[in-house]
A and B are shown apart, each in its own frame.
Chain A
Amino acid sequence: MIAFSWLHVEYLLQAALWTVLLSLVAFVCGGSLGFLIALGRVSPSPTLRRLSSAYIQVVQGIPLLVVLFITYFGLAIAGFTLSPLVAAGISFAVYCAAFLGEIWRGCIEAVPKTQWEASACLGFNRFEQLQKVILPQAFKIAIPSTVGFMVQIVKNTSLASVIGFLDLSRAGQIINNSTFQPFTVFGCVALIYFCICYPLSALSKHFERKLHVSNR
């Protein structure tokens, strides 16, 4: 049995970097796709609305774990061998896009109809309405729910360990297997997760306050 040491902490921190990296990929790629999905959901075109809505329903109806299995094992059989990082990145992006798309659609629709009307009456076209009037207001509404979802994603990245992605949770498991000090090891893991998530929540509060002030 090996005692839990600073070397282990270093190992955990390294794994935490992968967790952060995967979360970032999930947010940036999933967020970009999710933004398009949200726009599709509020589009005047019925085809776009139906397509984006179908995407959301399909992805929301599949457990993230299964999405991971499909991209990693399923695509491998189809001839695309992906590294665990790429497979996990794709899975999380697909998953985030569906949820963020739906969250953001709600935020866009939460902007009063009269704002669409007022801007239409000044001669704005749809793109200008979204860009100058609707999205800036929706953005503010979206902050708390988006950050809340992101915190969930940071924690959910632990699921990626099933396809061999060495993230923070997986690293904790490995260390515990050799040290048998679960309380210390997983306490340490929990603390690192907290240190990643807490600044996110704090940042959200900061943003909210700042935007609220600019609105007074």
Chain B
Amino acid sequence: MSAIVSIKDLHKSFGPVQVLNGVSLDVQKGQMIAIIGRSGSGKSTLLRCLNGLERVDSGDISVCGHHIHDHDKLNLRQLRQQVGIVFQSYNLFPHVTVERNITLALTTIKKLATAEAKKIARDVLTLVGLEEKKDAYPEQLSGGQQQRVAIARSLAMAPELMLFDEVTSALDPELTSEVLKVMEDLSRQGMTMVLVTHEMAFARKLADILVFMHQGKVWEIGPPDELFTHPKTPELAKFVSSDL
């Protein structure tokens, strides 16, 4: 196993607010890391730092061979082809069809021929179970379907690492489970994933490593079962019990 993400002492603040306060974390290839924690604990910011959406203040962070902290030399375009991210609000392009949402980056950035891009689109849509929706516009889909398209759109770029930022938070339980199913499949196929989530049962069942963040730090880290049953800190104990 090799570390695909290596974070050492990551600091990040927005103005006077220190959001990440010395985070260290390693992610091995093929692992699923679930990050839990209260709102404002820095989970999403951490995720957004990993694909260069947020500039880090200090630290030594390597993602898929890119040194994120060295912002001037960072090849963002390359990094973002290797690291996919899916957001809570889907963020599909509303002006084009589902298929075009997926092929847009393939033909623009990877310079693939249209036929080839369409084939990839068909493959990833099949993967998320939406191949029959390729000609629909995002507006015509349910939230769960839109989120699955967003996942497919990221997958089409063949990333080495997928980031999921509370991807089911805007969905009802039924739609949530269809999205989680897709993520479970992905994980089983060996995709390296880091997810910020409030789906405790999902995290407990599938994550290799669970990370509890508190006050901009990795407060506790370990196998999910252990963290859920034997929390070492009162903060995690309280967080876990409030979920029941």
**Hey, which bits of chain A sit against chain B, CB under 8 A?**
114-115, 117-125, 128, 132-133, 136-137, 140, 214-216
With both chains docked as a complex, state the minimum distance between the C-beta of B219 and any C-beta of chain A, in angstroms.
28
List 9 extra interface pairs beyond A132-B104, A215-B137, CB under 8 A: A114-B91, A115-B93, A121-B53, A121-B84, A122-B153, A123-B109, A132-B108, A137-B94, A216-B137
A114 touches B87 (CB 8 A): yes
Partner of A123, one of B77, B139, B140: B77
> Does B93 lie within 8 Å of A124, measured CB to CB?
no
CA distance A140 to B157 in the complex (A): 28
Contacts of A125 in B (CB 8 A): 77
B205 to chain A, nearest CB (A): 28
Contact: B93 with A133, CB < 8 Å? Answer: yes
Contact A121 B51 (CB under 8 A): yes
- Residues of B within 8 Å of A137, CB to CB, are 93-95
Q: Are B77 and A117 in contact, with the CB atoms below 8 A?
A: no
Contacts of B81 in A (CB 8 A): 123
The contact of A122 among B89, B95, B105, B137, by CB within 8 Å, is: B105
Contact partner, A124, options B51, B84, B91, B109, Cβ 8 Å = B109
Whether a CB of chain A sits under 8 angstroms from the CB of B80 is yes
B85 within 8 A of A: yes
Report A-chain residues with C-beta under 8 Å of the C-beta of B153.
122
Top 6 closest pairs, chain A to chain B, by CB: A118-B91, A122-B105, A123-B80, A114-B91, A123-B109, A123-B81
Distance, CA A53 to CA B28, complexed state (A)? 49
Q: Using Cβ atoms and an 8 Å threshold, which residues of chain B touch A122?
A: 80, 104-105, 109, 153-154, 157
Q: Are B80 and A117 in contact (CB under 8 A)?
A: no
- Closest chain-B Cβ to A140's Cβ sits at a distance in Å of 7
Pick the contact of B140: A121, A132, A136, A216 (CB < 8 A): A216
Which of A114, A123, A128, A215 is within 8 Å of B95, CB to CB?
A: A215
Given the interface contacts A120-B53, A136-B95, does A114 sit within 8 Å of B137 by beta carbon? Answer: no
Contact with A along B111-142 (1 / 0, CB 8 A): 00000000000000000000000000101100
Query: For B80, what are the chain A residues with a Cβ–Cβ distance below 8 Å?
Result: 120-123
Once the chains bind, are A118 and B94 in contact (CB under 8 Å)? no
- A128: chain B residues at CB < 8 Å are 108-109
CB atoms of B139 and A216 under 8 A apart:
yes
A-B contact pairs, 9 of them (CB 8 A): A117-B87, A121-B154, A122-B80, A122-B154, A123-B77, A123-B80, A133-B93, A137-B93, A216-B140
| Beta-carbon contact of B139 and A215 below 8 Å | yes
Provide the residues of chain A in CB contact with B154, threshold 8 Å. 121-122
Selected contact of B93 from candidates A118, A120, A121, CB within 8 Å: A118
| Cβ–Cβ contact A123 & B91, under 8 A | no
Q: Which residues of A contact B92 (CB under 8 A)?
A: 118
C-alpha spacing A118/B85, complex, angstroms: 8
**Which chain A positions have C-beta within 8 A of B140?**
216
CB distance from A103 to the nearest CB of B (A): 19
Which residues of the partner chain B approach A215 to less than 8 Å between Cβ atoms?
94-95, 137, 139
B81 smallest CB distance to A (angstroms): 5
Contacting A at CB under 8 A, from B62-92, are 76-78, 80-81, 84-85, 87, 89, 91-92
- In the assembled complex, the Cα of A125 lies from the Cα of B75 at a distance in Å of 11
Contact partner of A121 (CB less than 8 A), chosen from B85, B89, B94, B96, is B85
Chain A residues whose C-beta falls within 8 Å of the C-beta of B157 in the assembled complex? 122-123
CA of A145 to CA of B189, assembled, Å: 50
Q: B108 — nearest CB in chain A belongs to which residue? A: A128
Closest Cβ–Cβ distance, residue A115 to chain B (whole Å): 7
Q: Which residues of B contact A119 (CB under 8 A)?
A: 93, 105
Q: Provide the bound-state CA to CA distance between A29 and B164, in Å.
A: 46
Q: Which residues of A contact B93 (CB under 8 A)?
A: 115, 118-119, 133, 137
B234 CB, nearest partner CB in chain A, Å: 36
> How far, in whole Å, are A119 and B140 apart by their CA atoms in the complex?
21
A49 and B41 CA atoms in complex are apart in Å by 36
Bound complex: CA of A74 vs CA of B70, how far in Å? 55
Nearest CB of B to A90, in Å? 35
